[in-house]
Amino acid sequence: MILTTRIFGFLILLLLAGCECKTEAPWVDLDPEKWKPLSFGGEGAVAWDDGVLHLDAGAEMTGAVFEGDLPEIPYEIELQARKVTGSDFFCGLTFPVRSEEECVSLIVGGWGGGTVGISSIDDQDASSNETTTYHNFEKGRWYAIRLRVEEGGIEVFIDGEQVVDLEIAGKQLGLRQGVIELCAPLGFAAWQTESEVRVFRWRSLRD
């Protein structure tokens, strides 16, 4: 019995010695002071208050662009967003994919309030490409949004449910033409909708 116990213990030590225990990279908060409100005429006010970024509804789009250090691929972004008033997208997250010069936008709640998708893929926006889905978003409710960007693809989860699983090899990626381009390379916007975002952070997915 003693010999068996010693052999078992020795095997455990060998397994631990050969184990490459990976630790996840720490989360980095996107500093509120690094956000610059967009100015193009007709936009609503943008302001941080007690850890919440508030975007008033504008004549068209209201948004802000992040001017701090950008995440390097592969990376993950988390945030919580909610619609206060309005009937269009309350989360338009623009982010870099294969480089800082190549960006797309995650649209949540567009085209009447229920469309989710990536703009743009092969010149097709979030309402008409392979990432397009439809959901019911309640006003005043916070939604947890998680975005993963890797060399080969983009994944998006809302409240833990995967809504985008896109392989990007061979695809043309870019922003929809218009004011959303001002959000590049990393920005947040809403269209004719009052919205709020909080717990905005990112982390590296490098080994």
Q: Is residue 150 part of a domain?
A: yes
The C-alpha angle with vertex 147 and arms to 182 and 112, in degrees rounded to 5, equals: 65
* Per-residue model confidence (pLDDT) at position 19: 45
Q: Is residue 67 part of a domain?
A: yes
Q: Is residue 3 part of a domain?
A: no
* Per-residue model confidence (pLDDT) at position 4: 53
* Per-residue model confidence (pLDDT) at position 201: 97
* Per-residue model confidence (pLDDT) at position 12: 45
* Per-residue model confidence (pLDDT) at position 22: 59
* Per-residue model confidence (pLDDT) at position 11: 43
* Per-residue model confidence (pLDDT) at position 75: 97
* Per-residue model confidence (pLDDT) at position 45: 96
DSSP collapsed to 3 states, the chain: CHHHHHHHHHHHHHHHHHCCCCCCCCCEECCHHHEEECCCCCCCCEEEECCEEEECCCCCEEEEEECCCCCCCCEEEEEEEEEEECCCCCEEEEEEEEECCEEEEEEEEECCCCEEEEECECCECCCCCCCCEECCCCCCCCEEEEEEEECCEEEEEECCEEEEEEECCCCCECCCCCHHHHHCCCEEEEECCEEEEEEEEEEECCC
Which CATH number characterizes residue 199's domain?
2.60.120.560
Q: Is residue 56 part of a domain?
A: yes
Residue pLDDT tens, the chain, 207 long: 544 555 544 444 434 444 455 578 999 999 999 999 999 889 999 999 999 999 999 999 999 999 999 988 999 999 999 999 999 999 999 999 999 999 999 999 999 999 999 999 999 999 999 999 999 999 999 999 999 999 999 999 999 999 999 999 999 999 999 999 999 999 999 999 999 999 999 999 997
Q: What type of residue sits at position 118?
A: I
Name the residue with tokens 């004719």: 192
Residue 170 CA: distances (Å) to CA of 43, 150, 173: 36, 15, 9
Q: Does the pTM of the predicted model rise above 0.85?
A: yes
Q: Is residue 200 part of a domain?
A: yes
Q: Is residue 20 part of a domain?
A: no
* Per-residue model confidence (pLDDT) at position 186: 97
Domain encompassing residue 160: 26-204
Domain count within the chain: 1
Q: Is residue 72 part of a domain?
A: yes
* Per-residue model confidence (pLDDT) at position 8: 47
Q: Is residue 21 part of a domain?
A: no
